[in-house]
Amino acid sequence: MTAENPTGPLGGHLDDDDFPAYTMGRAAAMLGTTQGFLRAIGEARLITPLRSAGGHRRYSRYQLRIAARARELVDRGTPIDAACRIVILEDQLEEAQRINAEYRRQADASAGPTAV
């Protein structure tokens, strides 16, 4: 078995943060929350779990990290809808900062060394 041709039950998804590997029950247990909480953040459109062939919700590690952040806010007394909005805005800010940093790197690279 090589990295280019993975085999086995996971089919190379062991390191894939976006692979929907966790059932709702397992995800809730990992987060220390209820399945109702996961449904609520889904209804608030914070995360959209994928569905198995049988229609069961499946969550990725990335989605679990987002849900954990929302749970932190809810545990501090933030209403669930507000917590979801905060997490969405934090994610958008992080992405904007990443893009901005990339533009700066490109601008610095194209400017080249300056003569003094």
pLDDT in tens, 9-55: 555 566 777 787 899 999 999 999 999 999 999 999 999 999 988 88
The strand ranges marked E within the chain are 22-23, 50-51, 57-59
Task: Give me the half-sphere count of Cα atoms (radius 13 Å) on the Cβ side of residue 110.
Answer: 6
**pLDDT recorded at residue 8:** 52
**pLDDT recorded at residue 102:** 96
Mean of pLDDT values over 84-107: 96
pLDDT > 70: percent of the chain: 84
**pLDDT recorded at residue 16:** 74
User: How many whole angstroms separate alpha carbon 104 and alpha carbon 14?
Assistant: 34
What is the pTM (predicted TM-score) of this model?
Answer: 0.74
Check whether 1 has a pLDDT greater than 50: no
